[in-house]
Amino acid sequence: MASTNIKKLKKVKRSGWIGSVIAFFVFTILFAIGLVLGALALGTYVLESKISTEYEAIEYMAGIYEKGLKSGDDRVFDFLDEEGRAYIIRDKDGNVIHQNGENTCSFEGEKVKMSRYKYKIMVYRDSEKDYIYPENGELNLDFGEIYDGINEENYAAADDEADEDIDDEDFFNIEEKDVKMLGMPLWISLDINNSQQEFIAKADYRLNIHDLYLILGIVIAFLVVVAVIFIMMFVKIIRGIIRQKRIMDLFYTDDVTQGNNWMYFIIKGEQQLKKRRNKDVGFAIVNLSFVNYRNYCVCHSVKRGEEMLRRVYDTISSKLDKNEICSHVTVEEFALLLRYEDEESLRVRLHGIVNGLENIDMNHKFGFHVGVELIDKSVDEKGLVVKRKDIDIEKEYNYACAACVSIGETDESEVVFFDDKLVEEQRWIDKVQERQSQALANEEFLVYYQPKYDPKTNELRGAEALIRWNSPEFGLVSPGRFIPIFEKNGFITEIDHYMIQHVAHDQKQWLDKGIKCVPISVNVSRAHFIESDLAEQIRDMVDAEGTPHELVEIELTESAFFDDKNAMIKTIDKLKGYGFAVSMDDFGSGYSSLNSLKDMPLDVLKLDADFFRGDAKDGRGEIVVSEAIKLAKHLNMRTVAEGVEIRKQVDFLASQGCDMIQGFYFAKPMPRDEFEKKYEAGKAEIDDVNVDSEKQ
């Protein structure tokens, strides 16, 4: 999911301003090339058109001269002189045959190729003016560069001349009518008379103000067009950047808190993780869950709940340093990326954050569960930071979530670090879930029985059916390792059915064998007790085996009494109506259930093993037990003491009138066949049991 979004993000980035910037640069380069080529083409065109006009006039004169030469008519010189152009006719040895006007030709130059002629034209420079000058001849600028490159000397000479004859104002004010134009004398040479002679004439090459205006106009128009395109592109780029920023903001912003969201966390967080530089500072990925959020919404509306989420987000964010991240990722969960130096200081810091959050609302105390995954501060042999390019922040966050989930259902705030034990636990849960159905079908679950004896007479008064999993893969597994998993995933209802059926079946068999049967209790999970037809289900299962109802007792744990009380009373009433006894298991194990005793018509009170663990000071434990027994008696309930391991406890309980004892002192839970022997014996054979060896 995340990786698809990242791909989409990259696409947005590519299609955004980057494309426009590339286009902008390409355009700029093309424009520069175009400008240079255009200027060259324009310049060449203007120059060539000027020179060619002169060239054609000189070619015409040369033609006339050739005609005159053929006809031997000397008047041809008069005719040519009338043209008013300085010219020279030389023979191939350089001797001047005829000359008109002042001969300032340097006879130095080169052949110039012009695009409009196929051949090259021989051009000589003027010996006096090898530079551009205004028509009135008062300013000289180097023009040699057009064909020869810059001529420093001429430039200097031109400058001197300019200083003498024209002031700057005149030069720059070239629109004034009297300064007609810039020009440069060239001498164009034509081979005539079968290359026996050379006709050289002065080509007064000049640019007038209109030509300059034209060039300037075209350049300005070109620049304006380009400037407009530039501005348009620039605006497009800026708009692209703004648009992209808005898209990125949307992409990274959480709707509820208006802060960072999950995408921000995985993209920016992963970047942070990959560029770790300081070997003493590591990163911690944190999953912070607002425990009571749903309840708060139920009581105060979702709107107020979201307000609270915003406050949680702001409070956390205010406690983060630069380069640390807080993101709101799901309804009640936040993901954090924190920097830490050592585990202990991180733990202290997290507790500090949680303490601050617990009291964000004066009228409530909230709980927060925090799962932490530390990214190892890897360094190489030289002590340098090992950069982890392969790091996957989603995977690391998942570990933090697993740590958080391991806290369980408590409303109290807690901080748990992910470790190998958690991985093991997670793997175990996975294996159990994978195999549970198959195990049930293969009858891998065994029913163990733990007898309940009368402490005064040592007679068997009852038993409790306790499940064991005899797994071919894991061996004999005690219920503490799989019952909580089944309670969470709902498989417990099938287990409860299985146990009731087996107990009913075994009881019927023992009855048929002529054994004096006593009630055997079966644990029914609180998850199961919510079912409205539970009493009917139990009745039908027991009836299916033909077992009398009074031989099956139903045990409910104390915590179950906090669920729907009315539904529970109804089920208990029904069960009792069908003749089943109902007992409260684990009385006194944590929740105060005195109130439940008032409302529920129960038959048996099972005192939790906790009463008999450790030495309570000043005999206080004994006082509590004795009062609990008295209370049960007043309510017409029988009492069973669980977890009794030593003789002293048995004697005390007997003296207080406790009806039954279920504990290792008498017997530990045992397989069916072993129990059958105890059943037949009907009385306990006492051997103090080594308690430690019983713990599985």
Give me the residues that bind ligand C2E (CB under 6 A), please.
450, 466-467, 478-480, 483, 492, 495-496, 499, 523, 525, 585-586, 609, 642-645, 662-664, 669
Of 72 and 480, CB closest to ligand C2E: 480
Distance separating alpha carbons of residues 642 and 660, to the nearest angstrom:
9
Of 511 and 691, CB closest to ligand C2E: 691
Binding residue for Mg ion, selected from 260, 493, 523, 649, defined by CB under 5 A: 523
Of 450 and 656, CB closest to ligand C2E: 450
Of residues 533 through 562, those in contact with Mg ion by CB under 5 A are 555
Of residues 445 through 474, those in contact with Mg ion by CB under 5 A are none
Residue 117 DSSP class = S
Distance separating alpha carbons of residues 660 and 451, to the nearest angstrom:
10
Distance separating alpha carbons of residues 123 and 113, to the nearest angstrom:
10
643 binds, among ligand C2E, Mg ion, none (CB under 5 to 8 A by kind): ligand C2E
Distance separating alpha carbons of residues 460 and 681, to the nearest angstrom:
9
662 binds, among Mg ion, ligand C2E, none (CB under 5 to 8 A by kind): ligand C2E
Distance separating alpha carbons of residues 47 and 146, to the nearest angstrom:
10
Least distance in Å: CB of 478 to ligand C2E?
5
Least distance in Å: CB of 520 to ligand C2E?
11
Amino acid, res. 360: I
525 binds, among Mg ion, ligand C2E, none (CB under 5 to 8 A by kind): ligand C2E
Least distance in Å: CB of 438 to ligand C2E?
18
Least distance in Å: CB of 376 to ligand C2E?
37
Distance separating alpha carbons of residues 648 and 661, to the nearest angstrom:
13
Of 282 and 479, CB closest to Mg ion: 479
495 binds, among Mg ion, ligand C2E, none (CB under 5 to 8 A by kind): ligand C2E
Q: Does position 586 bind Mg ion by CB under 5 A?
A: yes
478 binds, among ligand C2E, Mg ion, none (CB under 5 to 8 A by kind): ligand C2E
Least distance in Å: CB of 631 to ligand C2E?
20
Amino acid, res. 122: M
Least distance in Å: CB of 517 to ligand C2E?
19
Distance separating alpha carbons of residues 152 and 300, to the nearest angstrom:
90
357 binds, among ligand C2E, Mg ion, none (CB under 5 to 8 A by kind): none
Residues 6+ apart with CB under 8 A from 669: 448, 449, 450, 464, 466, 468
**C-alpha dihedral sign at 588, 590, 595, 596:** negative
Of 260 and 523, CB closest to Mg ion: 523
Least distance in Å: CB of 641 to ligand C2E?
9
Distance separating alpha carbons of residues 640 and 611, to the nearest angstrom:
12
89 binds, among Mg ion, ligand C2E, none (CB under 5 to 8 A by kind): none
Least distance in Å: CB of 528 to ligand C2E?
8
467 binds, among Mg ion, ligand C2E, none (CB under 5 to 8 A by kind): ligand C2E
Of 276 and 452, CB closest to ligand C2E: 452
Of 270 and 558, CB closest to ligand C2E: 558
Distance from the first to the final alpha carbon of the chain: 44
- Nearest CA to 350 among 279, 288, 261, 268? 288
Least distance in Å: CB of 259 to Mg ion?
47
Q: Does position 585 bind Mg ion by CB under 5 A?
A: yes
The three-class DSSP label of residue 468 is strand
The 3-class SS string of 18-77 reads: HHHHHHHHHHHHHHHHHHHHHHHHHHHHHHHHHHHHHHHHHHHHHHHHHHHHHHCCCHHH
The answer to whether residues 444 and 666 touch, using CB atoms and an 8 Å cutoff, is no
Least distance in Å: CB of 343 to ligand C2E?
34
Of 186 and 485, CB closest to ligand C2E: 485
Of 375 and 556, CB closest to ligand C2E: 556
Least distance in Å: CB of 494 to ligand C2E?
11
- Nearest CA to 458 among 683, 177, 139? 683
The answer to whether residues 263 and 5 touch, using CB atoms and an 8 Å cutoff, is yes
Least distance in Å: CB of 574 to Mg ion?
21
Tokens of 87: 């010219």
Of 17 and 445, CB closest to Mg ion: 445
Least distance in Å: CB of 498 to ligand C2E?
8
Of 499 and 504, CB closest to Mg ion: 499
Rounded to the nearest 5 degrees, what angle is found at the Cα of 148, between the Cα atoms of 145 and 151?
60
Distance separating alpha carbons of residues 512 and 506, to the nearest angstrom:
10
444 binds, among ligand C2E, Mg ion, none (CB under 5 to 8 A by kind): none
Residue-by-residue DSSP string for 282-304? EEEEEEEEETTHHHHHHHH-HHH
669 binds, among ligand C2E, Mg ion, none (CB under 5 to 8 A by kind): ligand C2E
Residue 15 DSSP class = I
Least distance in Å: CB of 592 to ligand C2E?
18
Distance separating alpha carbons of residues 683 and 542, to the nearest angstrom:
27
Amino acid, res. 219: V
φ/ψ (deg, to 5) at 370: -125, 120
Residues 6+ apart with CB under 8 A from 20: 233, 236, 237, 240
Of 191 and 688, CB closest to ligand C2E: 688
Tokens 């648009």 belong to 243
Least distance in Å: CB of 642 to Mg ion?
5
Of 327 and 583, CB closest to Mg ion: 583
Of residues 606 through 645, those in contact with Mg ion by CB under 5 A are 642
Q: Does position 583 bind Mg ion by CB under 5 A?
A: no
Question: How far lies 176's CA from each of 131, 133, 172, in Å?
Answer: 22, 16, 10
480 binds, among Mg ion, ligand C2E, none (CB under 5 to 8 A by kind): ligand C2E
Q: How many residues bind Mg ion (CB under 5 A)?
A: 5
Q: Regarding beta strands 520-523 and 552-557, do their DSSP bridges make them parallel or antiparallel, or are they unpaired?
A: parallel
663 binds, among Mg ion, ligand C2E, none (CB under 5 to 8 A by kind): ligand C2E
16 binds, among ligand C2E, Mg ion, none (CB under 5 to 8 A by kind): none
Residues 6+ apart with CB under 8 A from 210: none
Of 183 and 643, CB closest to Mg ion: 643
571 binds, among Mg ion, ligand C2E, none (CB under 5 to 8 A by kind): none
Task: Give me the residues that bind Mg ion (CB under 5 A), please.
Answer: 523, 555, 585-586, 642
